[in-house]
Chain A
Amino acid sequence: MVNAVNPQDIEFGLDTFVYASVDGSGRAVDGDVVIRNTIEEAVLADTVGIDSFNIAEHYRPEMMDSAGHVMLAAIAGRTERIRLGTAVTVLSTQDPVRVYTNFATLDAVSNGRAQLIVGRGSLTESFPLFGFDLADYEELFEEKLDLLTRLLRDQPVTWSGTFRPPLTNQYLSPPLPEGHVPTWVGVGGSPQSVIRAARYGLPLMLAVIGGPARRFAPLVDLYKRALVAYGHAPLPIGMHSHGFVARTDEEAVAIQWPYWAEVFEGAAAERGWARPTMERFQAEIADGSLYLGSPETVANKIAAVIRQLGLSRFDWAYATGRVPHEQRMATIELYGREVIPRVRALLAEPSPEPAFSSAPATANLGAASVQQ
């Protein structure tokens, strides 16, 4: 597949969960300081040429991202260029009317730089917190996405649904210029979610948080064919993965490993996942979803996946877990100053590999070889 996107036009974003971090001596940093540190990280990201800064949404002791839009407004006041968004807004447990007013206001504050990714997220504590039943997830997301897209695209809105009161000829302030607050749909691998994004004519954001990104190639194909089936023009496809960059591969591994292991030990205990091992960490770096290492290593891996999946946007969740602020700042600086320019240069070169097939990946298991 020839990557049709001009390398200069690809959006390179940063995503953060606003992890409660430790300081250089390993002591826990207070949550309010973590929030102000994150604002400094975003300001640095703007300075070093990163295209967007996107904050997740959780309600957990180890993450300070419960009201990202407030932080984004503060960042807007200190930056000129960087786009400001979410990764992801857990739309199922929010009121789309409130999401609209928050992000239309952010768009005004930031002079048109607001954006959204809406989705389920991989953690679901917001459902009991706000009184929703996780078993209603599909219906909640469908209804709320319907209302949000109408509010963004075509006011006044007359609408009725199951989970909130109806709207009649409703205008919301502030009004948005056409096409503002671009809204992407985040998906984690569910084919129905891919179809839904296409049905609404919204760009697709793939969350690749384990294993090689190539397993999403069939979903990219599905999305493109579904856009055609629903009569939409081609739309951008983006991807989100985690990582860390340092001067050398060894340094990046040494800094990130203990914090990564800590996060996945927690997930193993809480969610029944397999416990983290250095072997799995290394496998994720070598051929999986971790974009980690020296600037050259990370740039090569990002360029390869952009070509492979035909991406228009790459969001990098920098520094997993309690990595100290100083090391987060260093990784942002390297990402903006070295990794992104290098990726753009690599993508401007002719493709080093044969054209990528977007046909569904199948193991090499010929019929003849499985005869009993």
Chain B
Amino acid sequence: MSSSSPTDRRLGIVGAGKMGTTVARAAMSAGYDVAVSGSGPPERIALIVDVLAPGARAVTTDEVVGSAGIIVLAVPMHRFRELPRDIFAGNILVDAMNYWEDIDGVDKELATAPLGTSVVVQQRFSSARVVKSLNHLGYYDFEESRRPAGLAGRIAIAAAGDDRAAVAAVLQLIDRLGFDAVDAGRLEAGLALQPDGPVFGVRHAAGELSELLWAEASSA
């Protein structure tokens, strides 16, 4: 792991729903400076952030983007196209979204994305360094499963991305949030992390998670 300079512990989160506030809470307890935005003005989510992630700051999305190198995108998937294309230019963008027809409605591009929905997100935000992660555990499993490194029963979260430095940064984030980190490979390997994929929604230790992802990659 690289050194922990203070600037390493800043995290931006776009989305103040179940997952956004859960990640914010985890990052706060891992010592991060956390900025969160929702749709609309910051006042709209101020109480939510104050109660569900005390210490995190409710700000505009522009301010979130300016506050940290790593931004977690945790909005309902049918809303991501409402964000400007270049808003995340140069940022590491953790795509924590999942496409659910039951929530997002029918979206042909997302439903049929042959290389996974994160590739669609990368095409949309072409100037961002997209890493798919934090999406394959439910927010409640995420909350309850966080453990310090080395503790028995620690489970794993995977990250997939084409920008290897970005992936390395997200792997470090995952570890600090309380999970073993597994490198899933290129962004299109994120397909295996989606709903209906082999690892979605189930708690796995790092070894198991790696094996399942490896088996998926080999059979593809």
Contacts and interface: CB of A to CB of B under 8 A. Distances in A.
Interface of A: 122-124, 127-128, 133-135, 137, 189-192, 195, 210-211, 215, 218-219, 221-222, 225-226, 229, 271-274, 360-363, 365-367, 369-372
Contacts of B47: 195, 222, 225-226, 229
B202 interface: yes
Nearest to A230: B47
- Counting chain B residues whose Cβ lies within 8 A of the other chain, the interface size class is 35 or more
Interface in B41-84: 45, 47-48, 50-54, 78
A30 B16 CA distance: 45
B201 A372 contact: no
Contact of B140 (A128, A211, A367): A211
B147 interface: yes
B201 A274 contact: yes
Given A225-B51, A229-B47, A372-B4, A365 B196 contact: no
B29 interface: yes
Interface string B145-167: 11111000000000000000000
Q: Which are the 8 A-B pairs with shortest beta-carbon distances?
A: A272-B195, A134-B105, A369-B148, A372-B1, A272-B196, A363-B146, A135-B105, A274-B201
B1 A360 contact: no
Nearest to A134: B105
A192 B25 contact: no
Given A192-B17, A274-B202, A372-B4, A221 B140 contact: no
Interface of B: 1, 4, 16-18, 21, 25-26, 29-31, 38, 45, 47-48, 50-54, 78, 100-106, 139-140, 143-149, 175-176, 178, 194-196, 200-202
A222 B100 CA distance: 26
Contacts of A219: 52
Contact of A210 (B54, B103, B140): B140
A360 B195 contact: no
Contacts of B105: 127, 133-135
Contacts of B175: 372
